[in-house]
Amino acid sequence: MFSGVFARGDVADEVGDAAWLRALLDAEAALARAHARTGRVAPEHAEAIAAACVPEKFDASALGNAAEGAGNPVVPLVKELTRVVGGEAARHVHEGATSQDIMDTAAMLVCRRAGEVIRAESDAACARLASLSREHRATIMAGRTLLQQALPTTFGAAAAGWLDGLGTATQALNEVVESRTAVQLGGAAGTLASLGDDGPAVLAAYAVELGMPEPVLPWHTERGPVAELAGALARVCGAAGKVAGDIVLLAQTEIGEVTESGGAGVGGSSTLPHKRNPIAAVSAVACAEQAPGLAATLFACQIQQHQRAAGRWHAEWLPLADLLRTTGAAVAWLGTSLERLDAHPERMRANLDLTGGFPLAERVTTDLADELGRLPAHELVRDACQEAAGSGRALADVLAERLRGRRTRDQIDALLDPAGYVGSTGVFVERALSAHADRAARIGGRTSDNDEQE
């Protein structure tokens, strides 16, 4: 019922039942091959196990239903995998592992695969934000603080801020996914006792087989990797939600500085025929708003007992999958919103002009400060603003009277021109675009390196 909104994009395919089943089987296949790599299992037996680890041979729903007996789906999976493998090789299925080893490793595989989808969605959104930054670097608009007009800025600078926030959040997620999604292999109590002296070698081979980091030691009840993932995913949601939330505000009827274009029915209402809601941005916000609660649950699950948690490990599975899904959906919806986005520079300027120069009051104060002193200049301009607001007169007219002999009307008009008071927005746009280009180059280089390794 809700997947159209909350399972947007390709990430849903990487966190569903089929994705988890695939990851569990990949973990079991890699474990068998790790034993073969270290000489503990004959290569043909390992390959027989790996050949049986095909999702189509298993029923995810049946495994889920059978999980109630042991409290996790690995136990019935191992039983079924042993049956499918058969023969002498079946004796080596799941050798040396405990259920949590396979479940945690599968969870990290799911995070890595879903994380790649999220990165791709975010890269596309960032590319669009970079285009908006370039196109509108000189497009004047009102900067707003506490939802009120403050000083002039540019739409390019606003887009650059969005770009840097989402780009750096995605970069941080990438770093966590690449460096902290380690395999898990510790056996019954984190000692790998059943593998004798071969335990560390099998662990190292296991990590190599999966192309994942090798942990310093088993992390059964040290849930730092999950907590770091939760924080990084929530940060991406926050960055995406920030952009989408600003778009929703800028698209309000009374503001009208941006709109989402779309075909018939896009952004419509069940009651009001005229409505054209920025529904992609609204949906991105709806997805992003779920992240704090999901992340909080995963953070709370860090406090786990002894060498195997009673319930808190199990409590991670659904919120982790949901957080991956909602992060991917938030970024995908944001990308859709940015693809549809139309900016309206004329409306931006008109809104800025509504206040009759009030957002430039600081500039007038600064111009007078050397001559009058900072405080007297501030008080003079403040009183002029109050008079203009109370009388309905233009601020320029009031200032022309109060500054007669000090400033000409042309000088006052120039001071109240917002185009001349956007500060370092141009520099900041260039910095954001440069940082974006650097991130893209690093991702491109990493992709090339990975391609060569494969």
As a whole number, mean pLDDT of residues 65-72 equals: 92
* Distance of alpha carbon 347 from alpha carbon 142, whole angstroms: 10
Sign of the alpha-carbon torsion through 404, 407, 411, 414: negative
8: left (phi over 0), alpha (psi -120 to 50) or beta: beta
Question: Per-residue pLDDT tens for 39-54?
Answer: 999 999 999 999 999 9
**Given pLDDT bands bounded at 50, 70 and 90, which one contains residue 238?**
very high
CB-based contacts of 222: which residues, under 8 Å, 6+ apart?
none
Per-residue pLDDT for 3 more than 60?
Answer: yes
Q: Which one, of 161, 101, 176, 99, lies nearest residue 129 by Cα?
A: 161
* Distance of alpha carbon 446 from alpha carbon 443, whole angstroms: 5
Q: How many CB atoms lie within 10 A of CB 454?
A: 6
Q: How many CB atoms lie within 10 A of CB 272?
A: 9
Per-residue pLDDT for 190 more than 90?
Answer: yes
pLDDT for position 453: 45
Mean pLDDT of the chain: 93
**Given pLDDT bands bounded at 50, 70 and 90, which one contains residue 228?**
very high
Two structure tokens written together for 437: 């280009």
Tally the C-alpha atoms within 13 A of residue 127's C-alpha that lie toward its C-beta.
11
CB-based contacts of 78: which residues, under 8 Å, 6+ apart?
28, 93, 94, 99, 102
Question: Per-residue pLDDT tens for 275-327?
Answer: 578 999 999 999 999 999 999 999 999 999 999 999 999 999 999 999 999 99
Q: Which amino acid is at 26?
A: D
The more confidently predicted of residues 300 and 270 is 300
- The percentage of residues in the chain with a pLDDT greater than 70, rounded to a whole number, is 95
357-415 maps to which CATH number? Answer: 1.10.40.30
DSSP of 425-453, one letter per residue?
HHHHHHHHHHHHHHHHHHHHHHHHHHHHH
**Given pLDDT bands bounded at 50, 70 and 90, which one contains residue 195?**
very high
**Given pLDDT bands bounded at 50, 70 and 90, which one contains residue 6?**
confident
Residues marked as catalytic: 269, 308
Per-residue pLDDT for 264 more than 70?
Answer: no
Q: Which one, of 215, 240, 242, lies nearest residue 226 by Cα?
A: 215
Q: Which amino acid is at 274?
A: H
What stretches of 136-223 show up as alpha helix (H) in DSSP?
A: 155-180, 199-210
The more confidently predicted of residues 270 and 328 is 328
Two structure tokens written together for 398: 């009031």
97-349 maps to which CATH number? Answer: 1.20.200.10
What stretches of 341-373 show up as alpha helix (H) in DSSP?
A: 345-353, 361-372
Q: Which one, of 97, 264, 261, 235, lies nearest residue 174 by Cα?
A: 235
Q: Would you list the domain boundaries of the chain?
A: 97-349, 357-415
**Given pLDDT bands bounded at 50, 70 and 90, which one contains residue 443?**
confident
Per-residue pLDDT for 55 more than 50?
Answer: yes
Q: Look up tokens 């995810």; give the residue.
A: 60
pLDDT for position 356: 83
CB-based contacts of 321: which residues, under 8 Å, 6+ apart?
15, 20, 110
Containing 141, the helix (H) or strand (E) segment is: strand 140-145
Q: How many CB atoms lie within 10 A of CB 374?
A: 12
CB-based contacts of 174: which residues, under 8 Å, 6+ apart?
115, 119, 443
The more confidently predicted of residues 317 and 274 is 317
CB-based contacts of 180: which residues, under 8 Å, 6+ apart?
213, 224, 225, 228, 229
pTM of this structure: 0.91
* Distance of alpha carbon 111 from alpha carbon 118, whole angstroms: 10
Per-residue pLDDT for 34 more than 80?
Answer: yes
Per-residue pLDDT for 251 more than 50?
Answer: yes
Bridge partners (DSSP) of residue 259 are: 342
∠ at Cα 56 (51, 107), nearest 5°? 80
Question: Per-residue pLDDT tens for 388-406?
Answer: 999 999 999 999 999 999 9
CB-based contacts of 104: which residues, under 8 Å, 6+ apart?
184, 219, 220
CB-based burial label for 342 (10 Å; 0-12, 13-18, 19+): exposed
Q: What is the DSSP letter of 191?
A: S
- Contact between 204 and 214 under an 8 Å Cβ cutoff? The reply is yes
**Largest pairwise CA distance in the chain:** 103
Question: Per-residue pLDDT tens for 116-161?
Answer: 999 999 999 999 999 999 999 999 999 999 999 989 999 999 999 9
Two structure tokens written together for 224: 């730092």
